[in-house]
Amino acid sequence: MGMDAIAVYPEQVNRAVAKGDATEHTHRPALKGLVESLGKNITATNEPKRVACGAPDFVVSRRIRQAEHGFGYIECKDIGVNVKKEEKTPSFCVDEGCDRAW
């Protein structure tokens, strides 16, 4: 389940970074492929509609009996960004029931 994708993902990211012109958005196709390879009927939607917690970069859902059920959000950051500093910004909300304004 996704073992090849787990090996391929860093290769894709490294290849893009080596070109010297990559941004946060450059790596999203590779991340989408990785997430979707992790289980049956999983979809990672890039730039979904706004949701109650704001505007995530991805929403992860799984098809169960003809319906999509969202179960996770992904906020992307570029390589080299200090995520500890980003945790204090509105784009990060890791607490359940977060009510930060977006």
Could you read off the pLDDT of 7-46 as tens digits, one per residue?
Answer: 999 999 999 999 999 988 999 999 999 999 999 999 999 9
Q: Comparing C-alpha atoms, which of 91, 52, 97 is closest to residue 75?
A: 91
pLDDT of residue 50 exceeding 80: yes
What pLDDT sits at residue 12?
93
* pTM of the predicted protein model: 0.77
Number of domains in the chain: 1
Residue 100 forms part of a structural domain: no
| Domain enclosing residue 42, as ranges | 3-86
For residue 13, is it within any domain? Answer: yes
Please name which of 64, 45, 41, 68 lies closest in space to residue 56, comparing C-alpha atoms: 45
Domain-embedded: residue 41: yes
Mean of the pLDDT values across residues 83-97? Answer: 64
pLDDT tens digits, one per residue of 54-67 = 788 999 999 888 88
Kindly state whether residue 93 falls inside one of the protein's structural domains: no
Helix (H, G, I), strand (E, B) or coil at 5: helix
Q: Is the pLDDT of residue 94 over 60?
A: no
